[in-house]
């Protein structure tokens, strides 16, 4: 298994559907997080049950989020990157400049 095959498995935000990267700033309790998004806004994100049950999300984690259509200051967590995937993205310069200072 070559390195190229492994790198393709890292999901990227689907920009057409409005997804973007964000970093966890603070846990709010009740499956909610305060996040800093790549557009510079701070939002309140909700962790859906399927992610909440399978992955622990910590302060400082890199996420893919999807802002709500009707409330721009809220979002849903779509995916959490592992530290290995974050290193991989950083090496390939795929992490937005606005977030690289927080990692």
Assess contact for 43 and 76: CB atoms under 8 A.
no
Confidence band, pLDDT 50/70/90 cuts, at residue 1: very low
Separation between Cα atoms, residue 100 and residue 103, nearest integer Å:
5
Q: What tens digit of pLDDT does each residue of 18-70 get?
A: 999 999 999 999 999 999 999 999 999 999 999 988 889 999 999 999 999 99
**Which is the CATH superfamily of the domain at 13-100?**
Nucleic acid-binding proteins (2.40.50.140)
Whole-model pTM: value is: 0.88
DSSP 8-class letter at 89:
H
Is residue 66 exposed (0-12), middle (13-18) or buried (19+ Cβ within 10 Å)?
middle
In which element (H, E) is residue 76 found?
strand 74-80
Report the pLDDT averaged over residues 75-94.
Answer: 94
Q: Does pLDDT of 89 surpass 80?
A: yes
Domain boundaries, the chain: 13-100
């Amino acid at each position: 298994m070559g390195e190229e095959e492994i790198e393709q498995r890292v999901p990227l935000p689907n920009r057409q559907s409005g997804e973007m990267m964000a970093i966890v700033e603070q846990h709010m309790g009740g499956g909610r997080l305060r996040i800093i998004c790549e557009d510079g806004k701070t939002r309140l994100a909700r962790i859906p049950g399927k992610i909440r049950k399978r992955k622990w999300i910590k302060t400082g984690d890199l996420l893919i989020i999807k802002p709500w259509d009707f409330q721009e200051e809220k979002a849903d967590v779509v995916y959490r990157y592992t530290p290995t995937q974050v290193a991989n993205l950083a090496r390939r310069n795929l992490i937005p400049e606005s977030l690289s200072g927080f990692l």
